Structure 1
Amino acid sequence: MAYYPRFTNDISPLFRLLDDYDCHRSSHAKITPTKKPMSLKSDVFETHDAFHLSAEVPGVESNDIQVEFLDPNTLVIKGHIRRHNRQTFEEGQDQAPVAKSHHQPTVEDENEADDATTSQSSKNSSKQQLVTPRKTESTCKYWVSERLTGEFHRIFTFPARVQQDSVKANLRNGILSLSIPKEPAPKVKKIRIE
């Protein structure tokens, strides 16, 4: 026996509408990805006098990478990976160059002063000129595009202070190698009391 009337039948469509709207907003947020910078795959090891860092940056040129210090023991490597999305192919490479002969139409003036220049131009036009056909560009259609492009960013914090001015960097075969010398431990200086 119910003492209160049931309102759920009247309000339930409103709750379903709110639930549908909430599902729509949550699924819409999942569809639009946020673009985060890529992280570098790297190895860091320590020797008695330096830290050594190797990071994979395949296909990146040295002018697309920045290495900088944020503070005495924090290093940042950032940059961007570019890829040319449009590859062009040259058409007509197998065609032989086309020869222009002296049988080209010319315009001759009847002035006697121009006869000398006309005779020179006819001599020049009698030489055959080789002209290559224009190469047209056509874009290709990608079937698979799996290589990553975009920004990358990585922060390395070392447990000790480093010598920022003595860092050596080398980029070879897609591997960025850094040698970061440690700052020597401060020597204990005793003060003599008189």
Structure 2
Amino acid sequence: MNELSLFDSLFNNSMDDVFGLGYRTAPVPKVDVTETSDAYTLNMELPGRTESDVNIEIDRNTLTISSKKEELKDAGDKKDKKAEKEGEASKMKYLIRERRMSAFSRSFTLPEDVDSESVKASFKNGILSIAMPRKAVASPKRIAIECA
């Protein structure tokens, strides 16, 4: 164990005592929601993720976006091919390893005029975009009063 990893483990253990075990969890992704007369659009920042890392569900009038990304694999996780040929099984030694697993789940209550059957999602450059078209809402109807 070197000085850097010793310091890191002491800092993390004391912070766990102060803030609880989950203090290092990833922040919830930021969103922008816009509205036009035809649709609502939700844009969520998801850097480092791909469309296969994200799950989108609509249940009644609740939109839930979630993701779980497993431990990242580095080049150091594989044996060096040259060393492998020479019969050595050398691997990179981590001094600090903080990139493990990250997960989030975020839910939004949708307005009543969202057409949930026509919702579409796209993913480009780390931005998830969800287009939610509006459906026609019945306008108030005037009821005539009949005289008896």
The Cα shift of 1:186 comes to 1.4
SS of equivalent residue, structure 2 residue 117: helix
Deviation at 1:39, TM superposition (A): 1.2
- For residues 117 and 133 of structure 2, what CA distance do their matches in structure 1 show? 9
> Identical aligned pairs, as a percentage?
32
Q: What displacement does 1:163 show? A: 1.0
Q: 2:82 aligns with which of 62, 77, 92?
A: 92
Structure 1 residues 136 and 184, CA, compared in 2 at 3 Å: closer, same or farther?
Answer: farther
TM score, norm. by length of structure 1? 0.52
Contact 2:80–2:91, Cα closer than 8 Å, also in 1: no
Structure 2 matches for 1:115-130, cutoff 5 A?
none
What is the alpha-carbon distance in structure 1 between the residues aligned to residue 113 and residue 27 of structure 2? 27
1:182 alignment partner, one of 130, 134, 138: 134
Residues 148, 48 of structure 1: CA spacing in aligned structure 2 closer, same or farther, 3 A cutoff?
A: farther
Contact 1:53–1:177 (CA<8 Å) still a contact in 2? yes
Is this contact kept in 2: 1:38–1:150, CA < 8 A?
no
For structure 1, the residue ranges without an aligned partner over 5 or more in a row are 1-26, 94-132
Equivalent residues in 2 for 1:1-194, closer than 5 Å: 30=18, 32-34=20-22, 38-72=27-61, 74-86=62-74, 87-88=77-78, 90-92=80-82, 133=85, 138-143=90-95, 149-188=101-140
8 Å CA contact 1:88, 1:138 repeated in 2: no
Native 8 Å contact 1:91 1:135 kept in 2: no
Matched residues in 2 for 1:164 and 1:57: separation? 23
* 8 Å Cα contact 2:54-2:67 kept in structure 1: yes
Conserved 8 A contact 2:113-2:137: no
Whose radius of gyration is greater, 1 or 2? 1
For the aligned residues, what is the CA RMSD?
Answer: 3.5
Paired with 1:40 and 1:28, the residues of 2 have a C-alpha distance of: 23
Amino acid at match of 1:79: S
Contact residue 16 and residue 22 of structure 2 kept, 8 A:
no
Q: Which amino acid aligns with 1:88?
A: K
Structure 1: distance between partners of 2:143 and 2:40: 33
Native 8 Å contact 2:29 2:46 kept in 1: yes
